[in-house]
A and B are shown apart, each in its own frame.
Chain A
Amino acid sequence: MSVAGTQPRPSPAPRQAGVAKDERLAGVSILARLLQRPELGALIGALAVYLLFATVDATPGHLFSSIGGMQNWTDAASTYGIMAVAVALLMIGGEFDLSAGVMTGTSGLLLGMLITRQQVNVWFAIVAVMVFAAIIGIANGVLVVRTKLPSFIITLGTFFVLRGVDVGVTRLLTNTVRFDISDQAPGFRSAQSIFGSTFLAPYNFQDAVLWWAAITVGATWVLTQTTFGNWIFAVGGDANAARAVGVPVARTKIILFMYTAMSAAVVGIMVALRFKGIQSGQGVGLEFFYIIAAVVGGCLLTGGYGSAIGASLGALIIGFAQIGIIFANWDSNWYYTFLGVILFLAVGVNTLVRRRAASARR
């Protein structure tokens, strides 16, 4: 018997019922709800970092705060953003993926290999890469769910396996450390126009920015509006409680790992098509940037809390820093230090805000 059949629905009460209550009460609850939002800290942080780099900008004509500058920092932030959203969902679901960075390289290299060695149509290669990524994601997920080992360990293993395979296979096949993709390959131009081209001439924003925006909206919609989104929060918050009420915990987690690996594949495809080739070391180390973006965006490492918009704002902060430091004529090595400090600040502010919000509710 269907669930709907077991619950006779009360006739819909007028929606305005809540509005008729004391408006002052509604005001308080809106403020409380705002403080509860995981992305609030990231929003404030993004504004602060933007203002900082707009101020210290040493370029003639204040490039950072111009549309040209915007092209620069959205370009830098977009691929981080696509991945940060996936990593955030996985983190809300209580898991972790250290292989997310190297997967971008593995996917791009596989694409390059299929196009240059097997001479397949680029679109066919893209489909094959996505399938491959889905399998890697499922493997990560199944290993984590079955062995009950921390995903940190499982994906660390995947990370190193793939890292070695990336370099090893590339050297074996090309005797170099990169695959070059010819723009004469069948299907290349149409694929590049979707994955690695620009829009809005003369500013030429990267296609990845559109992907990033769409993925953020889509992920937010899934998290807040759908049953699956509810399950993500539940398996991350209390997997046993979720299992007891019939939430498919294993399936939810495996799907999240799959989504993360497939996002990495999309990014790898973008890099390979945009630069008409890919290095064997591509993506190594980037997983930490994704995690920083997700945590700055309000995700808890323990799961059950976070947001896709927050992760995107976190990626935006990384983009601001990467471009802003160059525009400010600082030594670019400070980039890492800057991101480290931002991470500390964000975690501090997020924790503080969350405690405030929690105590205010009681």
Chain B
Amino acid sequence: MTAAVAPTPATSEPLLKIRELDKHFGPVQALYHVNLDLPLGQVTALCGDNGAGKTVLTKCVAGIYQPDHGQVYWEGHPVHIRNARDASRLGIETVYQDLALADNLDIVQNMFLGRERVRYGLLDEDSMERAAAETLASLRVTTVRSIRQPVASLSGGQRQSVAVAKAVMWNSKLVIMDEPTAALGVVQTKQVLDLIKRLRDRGLAVMVISHNLTDIFQVADQIAVLYLGRLVVQDKASAFDRQSVVDYMTTGGSSRIVGARTETN
């Protein structure tokens, strides 16, 4: 189900490459010449102030928005991601801030929504239930009482876990998470961060959008910062400290030198 993708050394071709991506809405230039690399087996934190373009960039990769210019490369090949189905066909799964779970459906229905397993033209509930249970177990999500309970009855951390499980169940190679810890308490935040590390250990590429610098420095292997639609820096996490990330987020540059760092754009 969730066969581990062989971890690739960071030096090889990144899983997803974004080159010169532009996106505007009317007169507003939301993204400008964005370059970003997402390698396998690494957690990339995408930071930026409100309105920096984090969500727009995510949605361009997830197929919700179409970029105006620029090119996305998947495993080295140029691709056009026209909709959510295209993205999931490639192996890109997004966990949205609002989690995109339907409250009225149960856990299994949510995990398979839009990609239901059918047998003789009918829903194959047994097989879906088994796969959902396996995935949850493999991510060590054990606090859920029944996988047949409606999502409405779950806690915030459980909902996040279900959303992540839904994302990794599809042999995905890239999981994008938008503010995964924003609404969570201390214990639940730790659970979700552990979950993110587990995804990386499986060899997946993970992109985490977050404001929370504590969380970022706990899980990120590399950090990229968006400032007013421009990707101002991308480097390994050890090249930053909290202050330098804040500098990039608020001013688009930093005079602090922590480690070897290459500024882009």
Name A's B-contacting residues (CB within 8 A): 1, 3-4, 6-10, 12-13, 15, 29, 224-227, 229-231, 233-234, 236-238, 240-247, 304-305, 358, 361-362
A242 contacts B104, C-beta separation under 8 Å: no
B170 — which chain A residues lie within 8 A by C-beta?
Answer: 6-7
Closest to A227 in B: B116
CA distance A321 to B148 in the complex (A): 37
A–B complex contacts, Cβ < 8 Å, 12 sampled: A7-B169, A10-B1, A225-B122, A231-B113, A231-B114, A233-B102, A237-B103, A241-B100, A245-B84, A246-B83, A246-B85, A247-B114
B1 — which chain A residues lie within 8 A by C-beta?
Answer: 7-8, 10
A3 contacts B100, C-beta separation under 8 Å: no
B5 — which chain A residues lie within 8 A by C-beta?
Answer: none
B42 interface residue (CB < 8 Å to A): no
Segment of B125-133, B191-199, B207-215 engaged in the interface with chain A:
B125-133
CA distance A209 to B84 in the complex (A): 43
Complex partner residue of A238 from B3, B102, B116, CB under 8 angstroms = B102
Closest to A9 in B: B127
B115 interface residue (CB < 8 Å to A): yes
With A8-B3, A304-B103 given, name 5 new contacts (CB 8 A). A9-B127, A230-B109, A234-B113, A244-B96, A358-B153
Count how many chain B residues have C-beta atoms less than 8 Å from C-beta atoms of the other chain: 44
B166 — which chain A residues lie within 8 A by C-beta?
Answer: 245
CA distance A8 to B1 in the complex (A): 6
Per the 8 Å Cβ criterion, residues 89-123 of B in contact with A are 89, 94, 96, 98-105, 109-110, 112-118, 121-123
Closest to A244 in B: B100
B113 contacts A230, C-beta separation under 8 Å: yes
Interface string of B69-96 (1 = CB under 8 A from A): 0000000000000011100110000101
Per the 8 Å Cβ criterion, residues 151-171 of B in contact with A are 152-153, 166, 169-171
B64 interface residue (CB < 8 Å to A): yes
B134 interface residue (CB < 8 Å to A): yes
Q: Shortest CB–CB separation between residue B12 and chain A, in angstroms? A: 23
Among A1, A9, A224, the one with the most B-chain Cβ atoms within 10 Å of its Cβ is A9
Q: Shortest CB–CB separation between residue B126 and chain A, in angstroms? A: 7
B105 — which chain A residues lie within 8 A by C-beta?
Answer: 230, 233-234, 237, 304
CA distance A241 to B166 in the complex (A): 12
B66 interface residue (CB < 8 Å to A): no
